């Protein structure tokens, strides 16, 4: 499993918005490296990145497209 797939799976399991800082801490990955991966996932249409004071991210799941 690639790191992109792993990061997406973690986010999809959470089913909520998480901050980049807390996700970075949980995955023990530097924020710049994780942000780069998240930007790739955003480009693929799999995550939504929000800039609300700090950076927040949420996985898009099938419910986003069917609900």
pLDDT tens track for 11-65: 999 989 999 999 999 999 999 999 999 999 999 999 999 998 899 999 998 787 7
Q: Are 41 and 8 in contact (CB under 8 A)?
A: yes
**For residue 2, is pLDDT > 70?**
no
> What pLDDT, on a 0 to 100 scale, did the predictor assign at position 67?
65
Alpha carbons within 13 A on the beta-carbon side of 1: 8
pLDDT at 66 over 90: no
Q: How many CB atoms lie within 10 A of CB 49?
A: 14
Quote the pLDDT of residue 28. 94
What strand order describes the sheet that includes 47-52? 18-19, 54-59, 47-52
């Amino acid at each position: 499993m690639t790191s992109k797939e792993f990061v997406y799976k973690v986010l999809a399991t959470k089913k909520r918005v998480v901050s980049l800082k807390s996700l970075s801490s949980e995955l023990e990955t530097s924020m710049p490296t994780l942000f780069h991966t998240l930007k790739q996932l955003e480009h693929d249409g799999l995550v939504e990145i929000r800039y609300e004071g700090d950076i927040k991210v949420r996985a898009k799941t099938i419910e986003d497209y069917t609900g």
